[in-house]
Amino acid sequence: MKLIKKIRDYIHDKKLALGLASILASVPVAAQADFFDGMPGPKNAQIHYTANFGNEVSYNLALKYFGGDLMAVIAGDVNAEGLQSGFAGVGYIANLEGIGILPLIGYSGNEDQGVAHVLVQGTVPIGDVVVIDGNYHAIIPAHGNENHALVHQFGLTPSVGNAEFRVGPEFVYEIGEDLSVKLLMRYDLDAVEHGEWVEIGLNPDGGAQLQFRGNFSF
C-alpha cells in the first residue's frame, strides 16, 4: 500500500509535468528517416501504443490524424489504477529541404491538475546512415499547479541505421535536473512507406518501454 501511495503521489505531483515523454514522443515529424517517430505514414490516421515497465507498468495510447500540413493527436495515460491523464494537441508539419520540423501545442491533465505544452521537434538526416533528432519542450502550469514552475526540456537523439533498423541514445536535459539517457532500438516493419514499426527503449535504471505504431484510414 505504501508503494501504491508513493506512485499516486508521484503521478499527482510530477507525472503531468515530467512523465509525458512517451505520449509526446508519439507525435510525428515529417522527415522519412526520422528516428524520433518516423514520417506520418501512408494513411491519414495512426495508432501509437506504448508500454512502460519500471516500478509499475503503465500504458499510453495515442490516436493521430493528418490532413495536409496539419495533424491532431489525442492520447491517454493508464496504469493499474485506471486513466491518469489525457492529452490533446495540434501541430504543423513542415519539411524544409529534407529537414523535418513540427511545432505543436497541447494540453494534458485530469480533474486535479493540468499543464499546457509547447513542443518543437526537428529531424536532420545526414546521408543515408546518420539521423539527428532534436526537440524543445516547454511545460506550462495551468489549473491545480500552485507549486509547479515552468519546465524547459531539451532532447537530442543521434542514431545510426538503415531503412529497417535504427539504434541510438536519447538524451534529455531539463534545466535544474540531471541529464537522462536512454537507448532506443527500432525495427521498421514497412521500410518502404514507414507505416509500422516496433521500438524498444532501455533505461540505465532497469526500466524499459515497448512501442508500436500502425496506420489506418477512416
Which H/E stretch holds residue 131? Answer: strand 130-141
Q: Judge whether residue 162 has pLDDT over 90.
A: no
Q: Is pLDDT above 90 for 202? A: yes
Residue 173's pLDDT band, with cuts at 50, 70 and 90, is: very high
Q: Which three cell numbers stand for residue 127?
A: 546521408
- pLDDT value of position 160: 92
Inform me whether the pLDDT recorded for 44 exceeds 60.
Answer: yes
Query: Per-residue pLDDT averaged across 174-183, rounded?
Result: 93
Q: What is the DSSP string of 184-196?
A: EEEEES-TTT---
Whether the pLDDT of residue 10 is over 60: the answer is no
Joined grid coordinates for residue 51: 508500454
| Of 53, 18, 22, nearest in space to 37 by CA | 22
**What confidence category does residue 185 fall into, taking pLDDT thresholds of 50, 70 and 90?**
very high
Locate cell 501512408: which residue?
Answer: 42
pTM: 0.78
Q: What's the CA gap between 174 and 41, in Å, rounded?
A: 31
Structural domains of the chain, ranges and CATH numbers in brackets: 2-216 (2.40.160.40)
pLDDT 10s digits, 203-212: 988 899 998 9
Cα–Cα distance list, 109 to 16, 19, 63, 103 (Å): 6, 12, 17, 20
Share of the chain above pLDDT 70, in %: 78
Asked if 96 and 112 count as a contact pair (C-beta separation under 8 A), the reply is no
Which residue would you say has higher pLDDT here, 179 or 196?
179
pLDDT of residue 175: 94
Instruction: Tell me 36's DSSP state.
Output: S
% of the chain surpassing 90 pLDDT: 24
Mean pLDDT of 92-106: 81
88: confidence class by pLDDT, cuts 50, 70, 90: very high
